[in-house]
């Protein structure tokens, strides 16, 4: 039963992470906005909304949310939330594979501390 919940949450996280990866790919494709200029920001928004990756990212994220709700329907938040702390590891590994973002010692240690912290807050 517990294993089933963990797997469902992991699948939800994979979809959510796929969405984040696609968002990041969209952001990498377009020019970084100058936040002091409204025109520059509007160009950024227009450019990013015309990438197909942003829309597939939104779809992936919606799928992740539905699967998360399926998990919640079968278990308590007090169980689902601590398990959800795995998402930071999933995202770090996915960013390494699909975005070529490096994992250095600082990032690894920091991410594991966040996972441990989120787990403790969620479980208490």
Partner 1 sequence: MKRNPVTLKIFAMIVMTDLGESIAEIFFKKGLLETGINSVNFGNILEFLSRNSSSALVWLGIAVYIVNFFIWITVLSRIDLSIAFPVGSTSYIFIPVFSMIFLGEDVGPERWLGIALIVAGIHFVSKSSHKRDGDR
Q: Which residues bind partner 1 (CB under 8 A)?
A: 20-21, 23-24, 26-28, 30, 32-33, 35, 41, 44-45, 48, 54, 73, 87-88, 91-92, 95-96, 99-107, 109-124
Which residues lie closer than 8 Å to 25 by C-beta, 6 or more apart? 51, 53, 57, 98, 99
Instruction: Provide, rounded to whole angstroms, the least separation between the CB of residue 123 and partner 1.
Output: 7
Closest to partner 1 by CB, 3 vs 120, is 120
| C-alpha Rg value of the chain to the nearest Å | 17
Nearer to partner 1, 7 or 113 (CB): 113
C-alpha distance from residue 15 to each of 24, 61, 87 (Å): 14, 6, 11
Based on CB atoms, which residue is closest to partner 1, 6 or 24? 24
In the chain, the DSSP E strands lie at: none
């Amino acid at each position: 039963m517990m294993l089933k919940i963990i797997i469902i949450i992991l699948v939800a996280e994979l979809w959510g992470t796929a969405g984040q990866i696609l968002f990041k790919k969209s952001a990498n494709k377009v020019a970084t906005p100058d936040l002091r200029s409204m025109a520059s920001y509007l160009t950024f928004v227009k450019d990013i909304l015309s990438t197909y990756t942003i829309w597939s990212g939104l779809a992936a994220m919606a799928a992740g949310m539905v699967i998360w709700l399926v998990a919640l329907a079968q278990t308590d938040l007090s169980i689902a939330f601590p398990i959800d702390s795995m998402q930071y590891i999933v995202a770090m590994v996915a960013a390494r594979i699909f975005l070529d973002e490096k994992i250095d010692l600082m990032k690894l240690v920091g991410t594991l501390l966040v996972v441990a912290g989120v787990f403790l807050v969620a479980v208490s």
